[in-house]
Amino acid sequence: MKQYIETVLSGNNLTIEEMKKAAAQIFNPNTSAAAVGGFLTALRAKGEAVSEITGLAQVIRENAVTIQPQMEDLIDNCGTGGDYSQSFNISTTSAFVLAGAGLTVAKHGNRSITSKSGSADVLEQLGIELSATPEHITNALLNNKIAFLFAPHVHPMMKQVMTIRRGLAIPTIFNLIGPLTNPVNLKTQLLGIYRRDLLNTMAEVLHQLGRKRAVVINGAGYLDEASLAGENHCVLLDDGRLKPFTVHPEEVGLPVIENHRIKGGDAKRNAEILLSVLKGEQSVYRDVVLLNAGLGIFASGKVANVKDGVELAKESIDSGAALNSLNGLNKNSY
């Protein structure tokens, strides 16, 4: 590990292969916590490069539980978290809208880290099974167009670095890596990130990981998802090309709403909000889900622009298809 720490401390980026070797040391139980902490801190101070994020993501995926359904149109809409907005579970709610719109969603997520309720917390509140086997996950994707991949179950090796991360008490590369480690081979992705300076970096990482098309977004107010509060900054990855763009809610027929109005609560409260949206109730919660789902549909390439994506998201909810995708994601579908 020493050589990689020295390389990073000198201001040089590690190649993908070097980072993969460093990652092997991170997950080696014989590597000291001090060495791992020093490496992660040095990376944070230098700034994480595309090659370094890619290399770490590849190692985590290579060591994940194998889930490879024979499907070519899979999408995820996971965010990094870390914006401390205390918003309700927007991406989780949006995932069911995407499935209702005809996309196949491999929803990767975890319990709460920087909020009161993570995707796993709210889905558990709704009675969704978190400990599904790879076979069950594949069946859910085939039969219901959505499945939940609970990060601790599909990435057992991550457990050993959690103590080190908590001890550091600062954000590290691991705070960026979650949405990149879905073990399923995704074709497209909507990725939210709390750091606007890393939009291009994360889009390039998605390209390195094999995404054909994706949108990376940092919302107004620096949310890790699209916001109704103003201009959202995005990068479109399309067959290797990166194109920056912005989306304002008024441009897609949605109102401007301050971020504090989309705050959620605990898992029980957020489950109530999720259900209210999928049942078609008019609210600020519905509006922000429409924007995020619209972006996800656009990221998939199913529509030519975000506004059309928002319209398709409305159809998904108002037809009952989004709610049906939730109802299907239960123990019976597994």
The verdict on whether residue 238 carries a ligand-binding annotation is no
Q: CA of 279: how far to CAs of 29, 71, 226, in Å?
A: 48, 29, 21
The verdict on whether residue 111 carries a ligand-binding annotation is yes
List CB contacts of 282: < 8 A, sequence separation 6 or more: none
The verdict on whether residue 305 carries a ligand-binding annotation is no
The verdict on whether residue 61 carries a ligand-binding annotation is no
The verdict on whether residue 107 carries a ligand-binding annotation is yes
Q: CA of 104: how far to CAs of 63, 77, 132, 195, in Å?
A: 24, 11, 17, 28
The verdict on whether residue 119 carries a ligand-binding annotation is yes
Distance CA 126, CA 323 (A): 12
The verdict on whether residue 51 carries a ligand-binding annotation is no
* 44 close to 172: Cβ distance less than 8 angstroms: yes
The verdict on whether residue 297 carries a ligand-binding annotation is no
The verdict on whether residue 318 carries a ligand-binding annotation is no
The verdict on whether residue 248 carries a ligand-binding annotation is no
The verdict on whether residue 73 carries a ligand-binding annotation is no
The verdict on whether residue 82 carries a ligand-binding annotation is yes
Q: CA of 179: how far to CAs of 61, 106, 128, 149, in Å?
A: 11, 11, 20, 11
Listed residue (117, 82, 108) closest to 189, CA to CA? 108
Distance CA 118, CA 57 (A): 21
The verdict on whether residue 319 carries a ligand-binding annotation is no
The verdict on whether residue 225 carries a ligand-binding annotation is yes
The verdict on whether residue 79 carries a ligand-binding annotation is yes
Torsional sign, CA 10, 15, 21, 24: positive
The alpha carbon of residue 206 and the mean position of all alpha carbons in its chain are separated, in whole angstroms, by 12
Tokens (6 digits) for 147: 């499945």
The verdict on whether residue 113 carries a ligand-binding annotation is yes
The verdict on whether residue 276 carries a ligand-binding annotation is no
The 8-class DSSP code of residue 76 comes to E
Residue ranges of the annotated binding site for 5-phospho-alpha-D-ribose 1-diphosphate are 79, 82-83, 87, 89-92, 107-115, 119
Residue ranges of the annotated binding site for Mg(2+) are 91, 224-225
Residue ranges of the annotated binding site for anthranilate are 79, 110, 165
Residue ranges of the annotated binding site are 79, 82-83, 87, 89-92, 107-115, 119, 165, 224-225
